[in-house]
Every structure is written in C-alpha cells, then in structure tokens.
Amino acid sequence: MNNIEYLEITEKKGPFVFKDRGSKFYGYAAPFNDLEDFKSMIGHFRLTYPKANHVVSAYRDQPQKNQTFCSDDGEPKNSSGPPVLGQILQHDLYNTAVFVVREFGGTPLGIPGLIGAYKATANGILLECEKIKVTPSANYSVQVNYTDERWLITMIEQHGGKIKSTSYLELISIAFTIPLSTNEIFLFKLKNNKRYVDLIISESEKAD
C-alpha cells in the first residue's frame, strides 16, 4: 500500500460556470466514493439539466489503486473527457470526481475550443474546492491491562499515531491509527513487547 501523503477534496462543490460563444459549461467536483455513486451523480446531472447535450465526467481513485476514468459523452473523441481528467491530475488529487455539463449555444466551438472550455471549467471548479492532506494509515484496536495504559499511549505518540477512542471496562480498549510510514517498526515493537491482551489490525487507506 502506498504510504505517501496525498491530497483530496473535502466535499461536493459547484457549479462553476464557464461560457463560450453561447455554450454554457457547468462544473462540479465531488469526492469519489465508488463507481455506483459516480454513475448516480451523472444521472442526477442529466435530470437537473434536461437541456444539456453532454455530461462529461472523470475521476481518479485512491492512491493504492490509482485508477482513472474519463468519458467524452458524445463530444468528439478526446475533446472533453481527457482535458477534465487532466485537471484532476494537474491538481494532484486522488479520490476526486469532476463533472462538466454542457448546454450547446448554437455555435460549434471546434476541437481546440472544446478542449479549452472543458479544461477551464474543470480547473475553475477544482480551484474552488477545499483540499486536505491525507496520511495513509493502519487502524488498530488494542486491549491492555490498566497498568499498561501509559506504555501503549506513549508508543502510539512516539510513532505519530492518533487515538480515536478509549473504553474502560475489565480491560482498557484503545482504538487508534498509525501512519503506514512508521507502522512496520511500531508493529514490531508492539508484538515484541507482548504487553497487550488482544490485538486487531486493519489497514485503512487514510487517517483523518
């Protein structure tokens, strides 16, 4: 799994409106969750803009998959989808989808005009988006005796981890994340010390 920090947008944004020779381009950006949600949003824009001729779309998935997709949706080949995807890549964003809805204004823009319009719309909406830096991490849930609570908390802090929750019952249960960049040495020390009672680990693509 990729352990390098990366950028993603925080929430859906739009529309950013771009106009050229009567045509209107409405740009939207949204976090990419899954393909079903992505397709659902395309359907939503078709209903929202019944006069639209095209709903061009593109996305870039999470870093460990690094899958990309774009669609011209009836525009001339490579005149719209690739320029939109190119802006996601230019802004170095992951887990991000961009949609550009076009209402034709009566005057053909030509291939260069289309490329410029879709690029400008995608860039415009991405500039408006709030972005966060994400640290890929591993999720932990560890149970320890009360006498070992301070030892575990110190271990977590020393390796850049963040505690998510703590519960105090017969044993202390601590849920936390450790950056993948320090996870290997953390896990080695944790298992080598053997002061925990129970240990659950699940890798996560990011830590908030």
Q: What is the CATH number of the domain that holds 116?
A: 3.30.230.30
Question: What is the rounded radius of gyration, in angstroms, for the C-alpha atoms of the chain?
Answer: 23
Mean predicted confidence (pLDDT) in 82-100: 97
Give the type of residue at 145.
N
The answer to whether residues 86 and 185 belong to one domain is: no
Question: What's the pLDDT at 204?
Answer: 57
Asked if the structure places residue 1 within a domain, the reply is no
Q: Is 190 helix (H, G, I), strand (E, B) or coil?
A: helix
Tell which of 98, 129, 160 closes a domain: 129
- C-alpha to C-alpha distance for 89 and 130, rounded to whole angstroms: 16
How does pLDDT run across 111-149, given as a tens digit for each residue?
Answer: 999 999 999 999 999 999 999 998 888 899 999 999 999
Place of tokens 């990366």: 6
Asked if the structure places residue 184 within a domain, the reply is yes
| Residue 76 CB neighbours (<10 A) | 11
Tell which of 81, 103, 129 closes a domain: 129
How does pLDDT run across 67-83, given as a tens digit for each residue?
Answer: 999 999 999 999 999 99
24: left (phi over 0), alpha (psi -120 to 50) or beta: beta
In this prediction, residue 205 has a pLDDT band, given cuts at 50, 70 and 90, of very low
Question: What's the pLDDT at 3?
Answer: 61
Q: What is the CATH number of the domain that holds 191?
A: 3.30.70.240
DSSP string for 153-164: HHHHHHTT-EEE
- C-alpha to C-alpha distance for 125 and 142, rounded to whole angstroms: 42
Number of domains in the chain: 2
Give the residue numbers spanning the domain of 160: 135-207
Question: What's the pLDDT at 72?
Answer: 98
Mean predicted confidence (pLDDT) in 79-90: 98
Give the type of residue at 122.
A
Q: Assess whether pLDDT exceeds 90 at residue 166.
A: yes
- Judge whether 205 and 136 are in contact, CB under 8 Å: yes
| Token reading at 144 | 């320890």
| Token reading at 114 | 């289309």
Asked if the structure places residue 106 within a domain, the reply is yes
